[in-house]
């Protein structure tokens, strides 16, 4: 097995295979990593309801197995739950993987002992929006939903009676429903930065829907997959060229969709920028959630944005925000967490991205894609010729 190899795989366990999103390969791999001692802990989502799950850090393979399946209405980033020094594995959408890498650069994650099992991601939805959309657009009772799926550009909900209800994502998003805004313009669909990238794109023929496409990106990727094969937990077969081509094609198509969303949401502000920002932030209640939840920020309690800022400041904007805008310019990955938790419903991700994009373009630096040092960390002496 070599870096760059592509396979289609599935769990040998019948139960995991049926409950898994596309054959349960990821679940089987994570559980086997625990069972065979490759890792001490695994981060997964513990399902509490159809639209509710909470991240857990567990050493119990049964909890990992129970977590099989993709939750599209759980827009949570898992990297915040990693603890330095534990050998750990996590399933990772591109935003999970990228923030894990950013945390590694800041010494919060030991990249050598962290196995990033990447999941392709076409986007997540906020559960409150999902429920509203079900009621008003699908005309379905959210409590009747037993499964969800994205297929051929349609968002499909399955109800208890076994019926499937599909609506085109484009149409939903036209009306303000569907994926979170940040996911609509998230241009990274395949987690090339993860140790291994898993997804259902490119699985064709008899295996469609029953197998997971995997691409090996690193030595750790080889280790975690071989570990699972040795344990008898998964079976794989080489991916065929047609499948690879289809996967690449869909990825390209999705990137175009993201670029269109970019135009739609992030075209330059008309009129006074300052008025726009002062106005957008005028409802901030200084809860600090946007900082606490940010998965690329490594500051704890005594951070510059909080220590130098106070509610008693008589300023036109809060220093807290201005400092964060600068600090996130090189590292914001547009994961949407800040917008999700803002109690004043301020479109924070949107704002952070507006500040971050010009500088990330200028320095040709894309955070979280690899271990490259961010430009703000200082100057490379050799590069400067000293």
Ligand X SMILES: Cc1cc2nc3c(=O)[nH]c(=O)nc-3n(C[C@H](O)[C@H](O)[C@H](O)COP(=O)(O)OP(=O)(O)OC[C@H]3O[C@@H](n4cnc5c(N)ncnc54)[C@H](O)[C@@H]3O)c2cc1C
Environment class of 199 (CB within 10 Å of its CB; exposed 0-12, middle 13-18, buried 19+): buried
| CB-nearer residue toward ligand X: 125 or 303 | 125
| Least CB distance to ligand SF4 at residue 336 (A) | 5
| CB-nearer residue toward other proteins: 241 or 381 | 381
Structure token pair of residue 252: 């390209």
Q: What is the 3-state secondary structure (H, E, C) of 249-280?
A: HHHHHHHHHHHHHHHHHHCCCCCCHHHHHHHH
Among 205, 256, 264, 308, binds other proteins (CB under 8 A): 308
E-state strands within 176-221:
196-199, 212-216
CB burial of 214-241 (b: ≥16 within 10 Å; e: otherwise) equals bbbbbebbbbbbebbbebebbbbeebee
Count of residues that bind ligand SF4 according to CB under 6 A: 36
| Least CB distance to ligand X at residue 27 (A) | 3
361 three-class SS: helix
Interface of this chain with ligand X, residues 71 to 90, rule: CB under 6 A: 71-72, 74, 78
Instruction: Say if residues 12 and 234 touch (Cβ distance below 8 Å).
Output: yes
Residue 286, phi-psi category: left (phi > 0), alpha (psi -120 to 50), beta (remainder): left
Q: What φ, ψ does residue 329 adopt, rounded to 5°?
A: -60, -40
| CB-nearer residue toward other proteins: 222 or 319 | 319
Instruction: Say if residues 65 and 47 touch (Cβ distance below 8 Å).
Output: no
Asked if residue 335 binds ligand SF4 (CB under 6 A), the reply is yes
| Least CB distance to ligand SF4 at residue 182 (A) | 5
Residues engaged in binding ligand X (CB under 6 A): 20-27, 30, 44-45, 67-72, 74, 78, 91, 93, 96, 119-122, 124, 150, 198-201, 212
Residues engaged in binding ligand SF4 (CB under 6 A): 75, 93-95, 121, 123-124, 182-183, 186, 284-290, 293-294, 296, 328, 332-338, 341-344, 346, 348-349, 352
Residues engaged in binding other proteins (CB under 8 A): 46, 48-49, 51-52, 54-57, 73-76, 126-128, 272-277, 282-283, 285-289, 292-293, 304, 308, 310-317, 319, 322-323, 325-327, 329-330, 340-345, 354-355, 358-359, 362, 375-376, 378-379, 381, 384, 386
């Amino acid at each position: 097995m070599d870096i760059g190899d592509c396979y289609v795989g599935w769990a040998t366990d019948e139960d995991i295979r049926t409950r898994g999103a596309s054959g349960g390969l990821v679940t089987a791999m994570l559980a086997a990593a625990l069972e065979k001692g490759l890792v001490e802990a695994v981060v997964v989502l513990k399902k509490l309801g159809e639209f509710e799950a909470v991240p857990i850090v567990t050493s119990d393979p049964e909890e990992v197995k129970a977590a099989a399946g993709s939750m599209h209405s759980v827009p949570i980033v898992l990297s915040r739950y990693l603890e330095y020094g534990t050998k750990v594995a996590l399933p990772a959408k591109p935003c999970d993987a990228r923030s894990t890498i950013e945390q590694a650069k800041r010494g919060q994650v030991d990249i050598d002992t962290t196995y990033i099992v990447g999941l392709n991601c076409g986007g997540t939805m906020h559960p409150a929006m999902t429920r509203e959309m079900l009621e008003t657009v699908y005309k379905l009772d959210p409590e009747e939903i037993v499964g969800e799926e994205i297929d051929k550009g349609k968002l499909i909900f399955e109800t208890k009676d076994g019926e499937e209800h599909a609506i085109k994502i484009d149409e939903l998003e036209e009306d303000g429903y569907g994926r979170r805004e940040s996911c609509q313009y998230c241009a990274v669909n395949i987690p090339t930065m993860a140790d291994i990238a898993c997804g259902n794109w490119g699985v064709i023929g008899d295996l469609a829907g029953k197998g997971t496409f995997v691409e090996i990106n690193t030595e750790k990727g080889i280790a975690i997959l071989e570990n699972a094969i040795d344990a008898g937990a998964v079976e794989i077969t080489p991916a065929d060229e047609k499948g690879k081509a289809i996967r690449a094609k869909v990825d390209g198509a999705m990137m175009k969709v993201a670029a269109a969303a970019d135009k739609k949401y992030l075209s330059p502000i008309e009129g006074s920028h300052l008025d726009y920002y002062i106005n957008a932030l005028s409802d901030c209640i200084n809860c600090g959630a946007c900082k606490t939840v940010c998965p690329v920020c490594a500051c704890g309690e005594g951070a510059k944005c909080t220590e130098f800022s106070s509610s008693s400041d008589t300023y036109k904007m809060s220093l807290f925000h201005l400092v964060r805008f600068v600090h996130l310019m090189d590292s914001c990955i547009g994961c949407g967490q800040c917008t999700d938790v803002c109690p004043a419903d301020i479109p924070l991700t949107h704002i952070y991205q507006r500040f971050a994009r010009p500088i990330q373009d200028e320095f040709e630096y894309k955070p979280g894609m690899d271990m490259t040092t961010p430009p703000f960390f200082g100057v490379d002496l050799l590069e400067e010729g000293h």
